[in-house]
């Protein structure tokens, strides 16, 4: 017998699950049945595609099924399957460690809110450990398909686990896994056949494999006029590929049940899209949008939730080739009639059938979202609250659907409360407005108070506020929305749109000061010029159309790009500002040099750019304060 310790994260996880999820311990059965279904899926796929496993059918591999066997007297429940099974190495890696880096995030997110935390279990793939909410001892007996040895894993869920080889008569004679649960006081409520049947129907009714329950059943004996217990075995789930049934035969509750059975989510989905395509290609898709974005959606090891089936045979899940990365939050299934059963991940990347299915599926999802945005704006805003940012990622790579995505994304605005669409902003354009304008930055409050917005506010022109960290990257590559230009207010050329040709040109009047400031700042700036975009602030920095902004440059550096050209923004000066008017009195005054740097540094700070030399900035500021007091 081999005694081993749990991985540190597993110890933490067990404690938190047992103490956090006490309100919904019934999920243990959902998780165990889900694991059995996965094991059956894997083995069925191998027996159809791998000669080694084809030869084992009937000789070490039994027909696919899941069995629940209840012993009420001893308060035990076994959950068995005829799936792929596990050897000693598998038992250690699957039941003693958690390989995903997202586990630490999972641990950090557990809140003590049972409903919320039980949803996290499914998201992070750690559902097996939920069994310790209802058990004080668990035994897992398993034999891997194609191997001769059977192993037993035993644990109380507290310190570690034992693994031993099961000898002779006690060993399994076919592949599969049996989980034997010894119920604790909390779990004894589940030592009841009726209760187990209800849980299976609630969470696992649409698991494709038959689930049988063996238990004692009381029946009335009319002759003896007494209740007699009999041992009975009955199938307790529908065991159908639900997505293959006609939509007319399905109710909303059917869709919701199936969603929960494949995701482990407690909440109903926001909406779903069920499509059956016939003709050149035959396939069925059933896609769900979860009500809440997964907490690990932006982690590198996030696994997508779309499963691929071929003729109702599970092939794989979490493949990045099933849907584009920006739709990774979509859950559900794709079932093709035209793909080969032995399709591999490598083949998928070049398979024309899947490419066509993927293209059509993306268009279907986006068109359905567009319809919801039109017909049910309130529900759509619930979606946007969770998934606006992933849709923005699509703008960067999905050029074929860029216009649709631009329609779907929502924006904060300088002119209206809440969120708005580009189409709505376009309808609000001023008669002489030349483009739709936007500003990017790190926070909404900073953007609303940016000097770059002053002239737009004065003229009543709307500016879209883009405060997501990816906005700078995404929107810098998008020039138009339909036939309307999209322009960043931080670009130097934008000021030409706002120029009032009837107003006097004050650039000549302050030319000596501009030259003095440029001479003082030297190579720190590309140019110093009079601004037509400022109303209340003395200065602002802008960049040319073909140059990265100061914030973009910061982001590129953070992503590891070292050999970037030195930042040389253009400094624009407000000719009408009181500070500028005072500096014009005597451009030879030594105060102008300090003022020039302060005007530049404060413009950088307002743009969200950290100063390279804050000590010198403070010294200049102190000199100016000292002279002004």
Residue 569, C-beta contacts closer than 8 angstroms, at least 6 positions apart: 525, 526, 541, 542, 543, 550
Give CA–CA dist 328/303, Å, rounded. Answer: 8
Give CA–CA dist 270/258, Å, rounded. Answer: 14
**In terms of C-beta density within 10 A (0-12 exposed, 13-18 middle, 19 or more buried), how is residue 356 classed?**
middle
Give CA–CA dist 217/512, Å, rounded. Answer: 99
Question: How is 160-202 classified by DSSP, letter by letter?
Answer: EEEEEEEPGGGS-SSSEEEEEEEE-TTGGGG--HHHHHHHHHH
Give CA–CA dist 598/260, Å, rounded. Answer: 59
Give CA–CA dist 523/254, Å, rounded. Answer: 67
Give CA–CA dist 361/284, Å, rounded. Answer: 10
**In terms of C-beta density within 10 A (0-12 exposed, 13-18 middle, 19 or more buried), how is residue 62 classed?**
middle
Which residues carry a binding-site annotation for ATP?
31, 35, 81, 86, 101-102, 123-128, 177, 345
Query: CA quadruple 24, 29, 31, 32: dihedral positive or negative?
Result: positive
Residue 122, C-beta contacts closer than 8 angstroms, at least 6 positions apart: 31, 263, 264, 265
Which residues carry a binding-site annotation?
31, 35, 81, 86, 101-102, 123-128, 177, 345
Question: How is 558-621 classified by DSSP, letter by letter?
Answer: HTT---PPPP-PEEEE-TTSHHHHHHHT-TTSTHHHHHHHHHHHHHHHHTTPPPS-HHHHHHHH
H or E, element range at 253: helix 252-263
Beta bridge partners of 527: 570
Question: How is 195-236 classified by DSSP, letter by letter?
Answer: HHHHHHHHHSTT-SS-EEEEEEEEEEETTTTEEEEEEEEEE-
Phi and psi of 74, rounded to 5°? -95, 0
Residues 9, 105: contact at Cβ < 8 Å?
A: no
Give CA–CA dist 359/296, Å, rounded. Answer: 26
Give the three-class secondary structure for 73. coil
For 333, the token pair is 């299934």
Residues 360, 282: contact at Cβ < 8 Å?
A: no
Phi and psi of 599, rounded to 5°? -60, -40
Give the three-class secondary structure for 95. helix
């Amino acid at each position: 017998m081999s005694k081993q310790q749990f991985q540190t994260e597993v110890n933490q996880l067990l404690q938190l699950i047992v103490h956090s999820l006490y309100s919904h311990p019934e999920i243990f059965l959902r998780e165990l049945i889900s694991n059995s279904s996965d094991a059956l899926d894997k083995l069925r796929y191998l027996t159809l595609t791998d000669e080694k496993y084809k030869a084992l059918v009937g000789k070490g591999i039994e027909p696919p099924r899941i069995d629940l066997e209840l012993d009420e007297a001893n308060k035990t429940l076994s959950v068995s399957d005829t799936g792929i099974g596990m050897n000693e190495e598998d038992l250690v890696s699957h039941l003693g460690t958690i390989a995903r880096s997202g586990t630490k995030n999972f641990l950090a997110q557990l809140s003590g809110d049972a409903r919320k935390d039980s949803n996290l279990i499914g998201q992070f793939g750690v559902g097996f450990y939920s069994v310790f909410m209802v058990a004080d001892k668990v035994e897992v007996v398993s034999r891997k398909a194609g191997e001769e040895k059977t192993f037993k894993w035993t644990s109380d869920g507290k310190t570690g686990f034992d693994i031993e080889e099961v000898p002779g008569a006690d060993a399994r004679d076919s592949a599969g896994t049996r989980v034997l649960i010894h119920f604790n006081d909390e779990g004894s409520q589940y030592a009841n056949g009726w209760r187990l049947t209800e849980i299976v129907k609630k969470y696992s009714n649409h698991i494709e494999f038959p689930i049988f329950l063996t238990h004692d059943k009381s029946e009335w004996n009319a002759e003896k006029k007494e209740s007699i217990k009999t041992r009975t075995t009955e199938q307790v789930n529908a065991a159908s590929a639900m997505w293959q049934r006609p939509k007319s035969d399905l109710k909303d509750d059917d869709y919701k049940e199936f969603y929960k059975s494949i995701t482990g989510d407690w909440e109903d989905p926001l909406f779903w899209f069920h499509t059956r395509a016939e003709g050149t290609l035959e396939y069925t898709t059933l896609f769900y949008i979860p009500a809440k974005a997964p907490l690990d959606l932006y982690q590198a090891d996030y696994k997508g939730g779309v499963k691929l089936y071929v003729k109702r045979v599970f092939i794989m899940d979490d493949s990045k080739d099933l849907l584009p990365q920006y739709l990774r939050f979509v859950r559900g299934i794709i079932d093709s009639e035209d793909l080969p059963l032995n399709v591999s991940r490598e083949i998928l990347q070049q398979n024309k059938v899947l490419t066509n299915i993927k293209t059509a599926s993306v268009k279907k999802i986006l068109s359905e979202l567009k319809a919801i945005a039109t017909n049910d704006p309130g529900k759509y805003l619930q979606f946007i609250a969770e998934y606006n940012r992933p849709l923005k990622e699509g703008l960067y790579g999905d050029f074929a659907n860029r216009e649709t995505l631009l329609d779907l994304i929502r924006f904060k605005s300088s002119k209206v409360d809440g969120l708005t669409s580009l189409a709505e902003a376009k309808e609000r354009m001023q008669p002489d407005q030349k483009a739709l304008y936007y500003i990017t930055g790190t926070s909404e409050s900073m953007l609303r108070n940016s000097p770059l917005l002053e002239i737009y506010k004065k003229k009543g022109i709307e500016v879209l506020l883009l405060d997501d960290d990816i906005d700078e990257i995404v929107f810098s590559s998008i020039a138009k929305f339909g036939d309307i230009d999209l322009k960043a207010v931080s670009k130097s050329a934008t000021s030409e749109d706002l120029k009032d040709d009837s107003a006097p040109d004050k650039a000549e009047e302050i030319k000596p000061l501009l030259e003095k400031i440029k001479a003082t700042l030297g190579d720190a700036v590309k140019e110093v010029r009079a601004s037509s975009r400022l109303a209340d602030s003395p200065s602002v920095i802008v960049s040319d159309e073909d140059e990265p902004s100061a914030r973009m440059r910061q982001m590129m550096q953070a992503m590891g790009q070292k050999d970037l050209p030195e930042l040389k923004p253009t400094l624009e000066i407000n000719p009408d500002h009181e500070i500028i008017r005072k500096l014009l009195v005597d451009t030879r005054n030594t105060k102008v040099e300090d003022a020039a740097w302060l005007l530049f540094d404060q413009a950088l700070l307002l743009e969200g750019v950290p100063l390279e030399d804050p000590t010198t900035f403070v010294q200049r500021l102190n000199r100016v304060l000292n002279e002004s007091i």
